Structure 1
Amino acid sequence: MGGKTNLMANGAGIAIQIDHVSKDYGSKRAVHELTLEIPEGELFACLGPNGAGKTTTIKMITGLLRPTIGHVHVAGFDMSSPSIDARRSISFVPDQPYLYDKLTGRDFMQFTADIYGISPEQAAEYGEELIETFEMTHYVDDLAETYSHGMRQRLVFAAALLHRPRVLIVDEPMVGLDPRSTRIVKDLLRRITNEGTTVFMSTHTLNIAEELADRIGIINHGRLVRLGTLEELRYAGADGLSLEEFFLQVTAEAEE
């Protein structure tokens, strides 16, 4: 578990602010009156069963969807109409990494650097550091069409960090990764939060949330039903339960 449990009380700024947000798809309400503040430098794990509203929440945080009601601010920017500066402040790693198969990994990173307006010198210097961090040296100059899922995921993570975002949103970051790739990603997420980056992680892998998250939020039927550190969740009724057992208990209660 991360050790930063009272960041807002200690004066850290708010990286993600979700204020009474609801999202409707026609007559269906996918997210209900969601209010959440995530401070700078926190690794926040968002848990929930399929269809709980996690993906819709992520899309509103990244500015891909506008809330029906309420407001979302990320790094101080209103994400209902995100500016270029707003988009430069965040990065998003989806659950299915998408690459251009006819580009090499290095080409893809340069393409990403060009999009964000990073100078060639900065892109080369930090890009090489990321290539080493993700252990991509032996394949980064091969075409992406030859990459395994794990290789693709490493490259997408590296490209997402190239512009040094203030907020990183990741959706199921460990899906399909082998143990070595999983360890690299876990170490990387922990390191960048320690350096001040905020991470919003949606995952079904409960042991990853238990190991990494500073705080955990559980969403069910579009509502935030539990929020706190692992210790706070246990104090609130999960004493003696694993996170998996507590998650199943809470989501079962919501069905009643």
Structure 2
Amino acid sequence: MLPQEILKITNLTKNYGSKKILKGIDLHVSPGEIIGYIGPNGTGKSTTIKIILGMVGDYGGEIQIFGENIKEGNIEYKRRIGYVPEIADVYDNLTGYEYLTFIGQLYGLDLDRAAGKSKALMELFGVGEAYHSRISSYSKGMRQKLLIISSLLHNPDVLFLDEPINGLDANSVMIFKEVLAQLAAQGKTIFYSSHLMDVVEKISSRIILLNDGKVVADGTFAQLQADNATGSLEGIFNQLTGFDNYKEIGEQFVSVVQEV
């Protein structure tokens, strides 16, 4: 594997029963890339990430991360990964302090270091006053900030984000975008999965589009524009996935709403 590659995926396939989810994914990923990993629902985005994280097995092909094949069973690579899932359960009866120090210690931080970092990050994210409050009292946005902080506490080298700004206010989104840019500048690799095409378009250094279990586009936004002769990422997405009847569906939807 080339030394600049942090992740290499070769002919990745995955079936659920007779249904083929991934049909031969090949990816080469370098440090410092912010990858917009997009595609319609059911095309294999989350499955790819969960396989890399070791949450899904029984797949075909090969995945090397940090130079090691994950099938060999060494789970130490997971200490260098952060993950924000689209939907996550947190322990509502714990306080922010208890939850974050628990996560930090799972990743090998001692209690004092986990407590110091988590308190500082919550204050910077505007939720420091809730540090010792039970998570059951948190709003949706506060919970999302908690998840983001928990994914970053151990200073991971690769970060997987699935709809990470869901519930964040505008100021927090700006802070988060800046955090991602700073991390990428320091050589961290970020997988960013979202249906918000305008955000993906703005933050990604490289965009990978999956459709029907295969990579159908891979490049910078400028390269994708040049290849597909359309102005926006949303337009490219619709063109490559064959979804071009949204206006007609919208008109029909409104006509049904207005029926008397």
| TM-score clears 0.5 | yes
C-alpha contact 1:19 1:35 (8 A) present in aligned 2: yes
CA drift at 1:12: 6.8
C-alpha contact 2:208 2:219 (8 A) present in aligned 1: yes
Change (3 A) 1:201 1:161: same
Change (3 A) 1:250 1:71: same
Q: Which residues of 2 match residues 191-202 of structure 1 at below 5 A?
A: 191-202=182-193
SS in 1 for 2:184: helix
CA drift at 1:149: 1.1
Give me the whole-angstrom Cα distance separating, in 2, the residues matched to 1:175 and 1:14.
30
Q: Which runs of 5+ in 1 are unaligned?
A: 1-10
Letter in 2 for 1:229: T
Q: Which runs of 5+ in 2 are unaligned?
A: 245-260
| 1:243 paired residue among 233, 243, 251 | 233
Do structure 1's residue 152 and structure 2's residue 143 form an aligned pair? Answer: yes
Give me the whole-angstrom Cα distance separating, in 2, the residues matched to 1:111 and 1:153.
17
Q: Which residues of 2 match residues 73-152 of structure 1 at below 5 A?
A: 73-80=64-71, 82-152=73-143
Q: Kindly provide the CA deviation profile for residues 111-160 of structure 1, in whole angstroms up to 9, marking residues without a partner as x.
A: 01121121234323332332233222111211000111110010111111
| 2:10 paired residue among 19, 22, 29 | 19
Q: Which residues of 2 match residues 67-78 of structure 1 at below 5 A?
A: 68-78=59-69
Q: Which residues of 2 match residues 1-12 of structure 1 at below 5 A?
A: none
Give me the whole-angstrom Cα distance separating, in 2, the residues matched to 1:128 and 1:145.
18
Give me the whole-angstrom Cα distance separating, in 2, the residues matched to 1:180 and 1:81.
43
Comparing 111-120 and 101-110, the one that deviates more: 111-120
Q: Kindly provide the CA deviation profile for residues 62-97 of structure 1, in whole angstroms up to 9, marking residues without a partner as x.
A: 111125210112223333355341110111110123
C-alpha contact 2:97 2:119 (8 A) present in aligned 1: no
Give me the whole-angstrom Cα distance separating, in 1, the residues matched to 2:67 and 2:97.
32
SS in 1 for 2:242: helix
C-alpha contact 1:172 1:201 (8 A) present in aligned 2: yes
Letter in 2 for 1:93: V
C-alpha contact 2:97 2:115 (8 A) present in aligned 1: no
Give me the whole-angstrom Cα distance separating, in 1, the residues matched to 2:88 and 2:175.
17
* Number of residue pairs aligned between Structure 1 and Structure 2: 243
Give me the whole-angstrom Cα distance separating, in 1, the residues matched to 2:158 and 2:81.
5
C-alpha contact 2:144 2:166 (8 A) present in aligned 1: no
SS in 1 for 2:167: coil
Give me the whole-angstrom Cα distance separating, in 1, the residues matched to 2:31 and 2:58.
23
Give me the whole-angstrom Cα distance separating, in 2, the residues matched to 1:40 and 1:233.
21
Q: Kindly provide the CA deviation profile for residues 169-219 of structure 1, in whole angstroms up to 9, marking residues without a partner as x.
A: 111112232222322222222221112211111111101111100000110
Partner of 2:257: none
Give me the whole-angstrom Cα distance separating, in 2, the residues matched to 1:35 and 1:100.
37
Give me the whole-angstrom Cα distance separating, in 2, the residues matched to 1:124 and 1:78.
34
Aligned-residue CA RMSD in angstroms? Answer: 1.9
Change (3 A) 1:65 1:80: farther
Change (3 A) 1:67 1:56: same
Change (3 A) 1:165 1:179: same
SS in 2 for 1:138: helix
Q: Percent identity?
A: 35
Give me the whole-angstrom Cα distance separating, in 1, the residues matched to 2:115 and 2:67.
29
Do structure 1's residue 252 and structure 2's residue 253 form an aligned pair? Answer: no
Larger-Rg structure = 2
C-alpha contact 1:63 1:82 (8 A) present in aligned 2: no
C-alpha contact 1:93 1:160 (8 A) present in aligned 2: yes
Partner of 1:206: 197
Partner of 1:3: none
Change (3 A) 1:204 1:253: closer
